[in-house]
Each structure stands twice: as C-alpha cells, then as structure tokens.
Structure 1
Amino acid sequence: MSYPQKSYVEHVAVRVRDIQWHIDFFYQVLGMDVREIDGPADAPNQYWTIGGMQLMSTPGFEAPPSNDAGWLAHIGIMVEDLDAAIAEAHKWKVKQLPQGRNWLQLPDGLAIELIQASGNSVVEVLAINPRAQ
C-alpha cells in the first residue's frame, strides 16, 4: 500500500429532481439535519446534511437504468432503530427492493440500504466534526 494512512467517505453527492422531497425525507425519516445550503433556503441549489448526503437540485434529471455501470448502486445508511426507520420510510411511498425489507428505492431511482447500528455508534460518529482544525 503506497498511502499508509486511513480514509473515509465524508459525503456522497446525488442529483435529484425534487430537492425539497429529498430534504424532507432525509430529515424526517433519517434525522439528517442541515449542515450547509447553497442558494435560498426554500429552493436550494444544493443541500448538505449532517450525516454525509449532498443533494443537488437537477429538475430535469433522469437516472440511468439501475444496471448501467455508471450509476451509483446504493448508499448504505446506519440507523439507530431499523424497524422505526423502515416504518417511517414506507409512509413516503418508497419502493421496497428485492434485496430485503431494508433496501428502498426513492422516487428519483436512488437506492438506499438501511443498516442497524450497534450501541451508540451513530451518535458517536455524528459528534465528530471532521472539518474542525
């Protein structure tokens, strides 16, 4: 290994047709609060969450088919209470995927895998400010 240090993904940017729907979903279903907004708060161009999502408003966006090698396969999201998160997500009329009840497809085609976290790991990770100097 030529780079002896460790790394991690700090955020994932996704294009969405309806940014407000996605902001509301990630906040109300998964508790991902705002970290930063680009543009007006009521119609942002981009929206970053605490928890690693960057939503990019792209009203005419059409996701390629899920079997296209260039498309993001899915995003795995650690949750404190898997059953509660799944129940809340279904209120948003998301589609359950064949991989299991914790695999969901959002309206723009984005697939998410909800994963039960152990102990206080979600709180502990979110308490870290990776951009602090």
Structure 2
Amino acid sequence: MAPHKQKSYVEHVAVRVKDIQWHINFFLDVLGMDVREIDGPADAPHQYWTIGGLQLMSTPGFAAPPSNDAGWLAHLGVMVEDLEAALTGAQTWGVRQLPQGRNWLQLPDGLAVELIQASAGSVSAVLAVNPRAATA
C-alpha cells in the first residue's frame, strides 16, 4: 500500500455528561477551552462545543459504566500548552488522579482525561484552524 500524503486529526469528540455546566466550567477554567457553539439556552445548553475539539451533550440521567467496562469512551487525550499549570488548575476541581500517571485525571461523571504537554506554539497553530470554514 502506498503511503498516505493526507494528514488528519480529530476535529471534535462528542461526550455525554450528566452535569453539562460543571463540565463547561472545568474545561474552560482548567484547559482554556472556550465556547465555539451552543445548542439551546446559554445558561442550560443541550449541547456545547468548545474551541479545541470537545462537544458536551447534556444527558442528566447519564451514568457512566465502571471504568473497566469496554464500549464507552476510554479517554480524551488533550494537548496543553502548559501541563504543570493545567494539573495545578485541575486540583481545585475534585478530579481524581488515575494510576496511569499524574497527567491522567478522572472527572466526576467517570470520563478519563489524559493531559499531554504540546510542543511550543503547536496548540496555537491548531486552534488557528477554522474547521467550519468553507473549502475553496
């Protein structure tokens, strides 16, 4: 098979959450993932898309299966400009560190997040891409 010349990345991941406002605040405060789009009222959205590739879907009755069950999202890998600052910011949110390492966090709904130190300037470069722009 010939090597692919096209390079790709995941534009967003949709995640069901029990408490959407908690998740909005966490991802904004700790990781700086601001709003890109909202479905529904701003104070109680049905869905919320962040700049940075996350779509939160309000599902009040949602209960994540135990972390050892297959079939649910395993984890989110999030590239961060400053890993130490993100880890410090996360401490005040009551998240739990997972056994994989101090950069692995479990949120109250059970979602696991792996924080990854990005190389200098790369996060800004990716965020400068407009995924909704019309193609030429």
Describe the SS at the equivalent of 1:101. Answer: strand
Describe the SS at the equivalent of 1:89. Answer: helix
Equivalent in the alignment of 1:89: 90
Count residues with an aligned counterpart. Answer: 133
Alignment of 1:43-122 (within 5 A): 43-122=44-123
Q: Structure 1 CA distance, aligned partners of 2:10 and 2:78? A: 12
Deviation of the 1:68 alpha carbon = 1.5
Equivalent in the alignment of 1:38: 39
Q: Structure 2 CA distance, aligned partners of 1:38 and 1:124? A: 27
Deviation of the 1:97 alpha carbon = 0.3
Question: Please, what TM-score do these two structures have when normalized by structure 2?
Answer: 0.93
Deviation of the 1:82 alpha carbon = 0.4
Unaligned runs of 5+ in 2: none
- The RMSD of aligned alpha carbons is 1.5
Q: Structure 2 CA distance, aligned partners of 1:79 and 1:7? A: 19
Q: Which amino acid aligns with 2:85?
A: A
Q: Structure 2 CA distance, aligned partners of 1:63 and 1:8? A: 26
Q: Are 1:15 and 2:16 an aligned pair?
A: yes
Deviation of the 1:125 alpha carbon = 0.5
Equivalent in the alignment of 2:29: 28
Deviation of the 1:7 alpha carbon = 3.0
Q: Structure 1 CA distance, aligned partners of 2:89 and 2:101? A: 16
Q: Which amino acid aligns with 1:48?
A: W
Q: Deviations over 1:50-88 (max 9, x none)?
A: 000000000010001112110111110011110110010
Q: Structure 2 CA distance, aligned partners of 1:90 and 1:60? A: 26
Unaligned runs of 5+ in 1: none
